[in-house]
Structure 1
Amino acid sequence: MTPTEPLYFAILILTGAFTGVISGLLGVGGGFVMSPVQYWLLQETGMQPDLAIRVALGTSLFVVLLNSISVTLKYQQKQAVIWKQATIMGVSGSIFSFWGSTVASYLSASTLSTIFGIVMIIGALRTYMTPSVREEDEINSNPILYIFAGISIGFFSGLLGIGGGVIGIPIMLIFLHFDMRKAIGTSAAVIIFTSFGGSIGYMINGWGQPGLPPYSLGYVSLIDWILLAAPGFLAARKGAEIAHFVNSEHLKRLFVLLMIFVGLEMIGTI
């Protein structure tokens, strides 16, 4: 398979649309879906695994930036974004997302895919054991906790090219006592910051590397970005609309199943 084949284009377009719906529905960036798909496709074109996974992570994170803006605007209309907490987590997260992407530039594909899979599965299990609905007055108000939450979300966002929702939502549910719907909306806002910092990191660290796809900004493939981002941006708002008509517990279960599936798939790529 080559990057110019219709099948390559079709797979990325469908992945982008599916990811957009998932982003809107679950408040995640969607990198945990896009990264594995791109990683597989890029290797099918003959790209070496270590380079393929960095391009997959960097490109996914740049797509996540656009998706998260679309989703946040939709959740803001439903008053499901808590901006004070989102800003604290986002600013600290964007800095550490940049450093996470820098670390990823020096790790092997097998190491990154293993970390990716383990983080997904642990996050899924902890989320499953946490109630999806809480009273609003239980939300934690300690700004120090939000700074540390942002650091954790940001670092793993940059390291794994995932925006941070699959890390942020479990943290918000378990430690910060958000209900599921506000965790989704606030997570989408945080992801704007973390995906921006991480994307810049992948561009800078990949600049001038040999073997990159045509029309790349460092580890970000602009061709793949367009194929993923255009349908994803349109589908993300639809996913956000659907989310407000779906039971919170059902949203949580869908989120958990997706995380476990992707985690197992990435561990299995070693």
Structure 2
Amino acid sequence: MNHYLLVPIGFAAGILAGYLGIGGGGIFVPVLFFCFSGLCSAELVPKLSVGTSTGAVLLTGLSGAFRHWQLGHIDLSFFLRISAGALVGAFFGGLVVCHLPADILRIVIGIVLFIAAFRMVTYAKRDDSSFNERKPWWLVPIGVVVGLIAATVGIGGGILAVPILAGILGLNTKRAAGTSAAMTVVLSVGAIVGHILWGQGVPGRPPGSFGFVVIADSLILGIPAAAGAAIGAGLHRKFEPNIFRVVFALLLVAVGIKIIFF
């Protein structure tokens, strides 16, 4: 795949991410997976895809988090707790990627894509009626787990954090999505540092890579994705997203099967 195709792909992925309320990693990783195939060893393809995706997720997350902050959708107390844990977990996610065999990492990525597909079709809006005002301490260790898993597979963590914030703690959909988007920024910073640090010295990496992060591709994919995310968030009020969620879920399942079995 021509790397410059990442510009229109990133823009389209950003629109979809902003429209559906996801972080974008579920789109970025498969795209980068096929982008790096043939350019380096099969062992490095999933590792570079995951690491480079975190850079794009950071840029998309900044765009989404800023918009949610403007709209007042971020619960600061919940954000601080879950983000503190996510930062630590994401940093060590790079260590997991460094030592995890490529075949196992492929399976893990595929499974997370299946989970993301399930989340797409089971999405439900919530109101504030069941909101739990408590600020549980266990959000910190939960954040560690979310950060570790997210950094291991190159996603922003929203598909894991939103069910906890909305389904268990009772935040409405907007506040859960906004708090999760802000967490994604912190998580991505930890993940990028981890992927760069733990990937240093690994042979066979392409030119311009820092650890497992190919900076140029992160920017080529992430900058247009950030612009697209701002547009996609605005489209949410104009078009019903349910049909697109089902289509996107089917796409994620197909890509997950491709990554695992082919």
Judge same fold: TM > 0.5, yes or no.
yes
User: 2:111 matched to which residue of 1?
Assistant: 118
SS at match of 1:143: coil
Of 111, 117, 137, the residue aligned with 1:144 is 137
Deviation at 1:94, TM superposition (A): 0.8
Deviation at 1:87, TM superposition (A): 1.8
Is 1:187–2:147 an aligned residue pair? no
Of 13, 22, 27, the residue aligned with 1:19 is 13
Deviation at 1:44, TM superposition (A): 2.9
Of 51, 60, 64, the residue aligned with 2:57 is 64
When residues 125 and 67 of structure 1 are mapped into structure 2, their CA distance, relative to the original with a 3 A threshold, is closer
When residues 241 and 136 of structure 1 are mapped into structure 2, their CA distance, relative to the original with a 3 A threshold, is farther
Of 191, 195, 198, the residue aligned with 1:205 is 198
User: 2:67 matched to which residue of 1?
Assistant: 74
Q: In structure 2, what is the Cα distance between the partners aligned to 1:107 and 1:15?
A: 28
User: 1:29 matched to which residue of 2?
Assistant: 23
Q: How many pairs does the alignment contain?
A: 262
When residues 247 and 76 of structure 1 are mapped into structure 2, their CA distance, relative to the original with a 3 A threshold, is farther
When residues 250 and 43 of structure 1 are mapped into structure 2, their CA distance, relative to the original with a 3 A threshold, is closer
The unaligned stretches of length 5 or more in structure 1 are 1-6
Tell me if structure 1 keeps the 8 A contact 2:60–2:223: no
Of 222, 228, 236, the residue aligned with 2:229 is 236
Deviation at 1:112, TM superposition (A): 0.9
Q: TM-score, normalised by structure 2?
A: 0.88
Q: In structure 1, what is the Cα distance between the partners aligned to 2:241 and 2:6?
A: 29
Tell me if structure 2 keeps the 8 A contact 1:181–1:248: no
**C-alpha offsets along residues 24-66 of structure 1, whole Å, 9 cap, x if unaligned?**
2234321111111111121133x11221111111111011111
Q: TM-score, normalised by structure 1?
A: 0.86
The root-mean-square deviation of aligned C-alpha atoms, in Å, is 2.4
Of 225, 248, 268, the residue aligned with 2:261 is 268
**More displaced 10-residue stretch of structure 1: 163-172 or 260-269:** 260-269
Q: In structure 1, what is the Cα distance between the partners aligned to 2:167 and 2:259?
A: 25
SS at match of 1:49: coil
Deviation at 1:133, TM superposition (A): 1.9
Q: In structure 1, what is the Cα distance between the partners aligned to 2:112 and 2:133?
A: 24
Tell me if structure 1 keeps the 8 A contact 2:77–2:135: no
**C-alpha offsets along residues 148-184 of structure 1, whole Å, 9 cap, x if unaligned?**
3312211111111112122222333332223333222
**C-alpha offsets along residues 175-194 of structure 1, whole Å, 9 cap, x if unaligned?**
22233332222211010111
Is 1:155–2:148 an aligned residue pair? yes
User: 1:43 matched to which residue of 2?
Assistant: 37
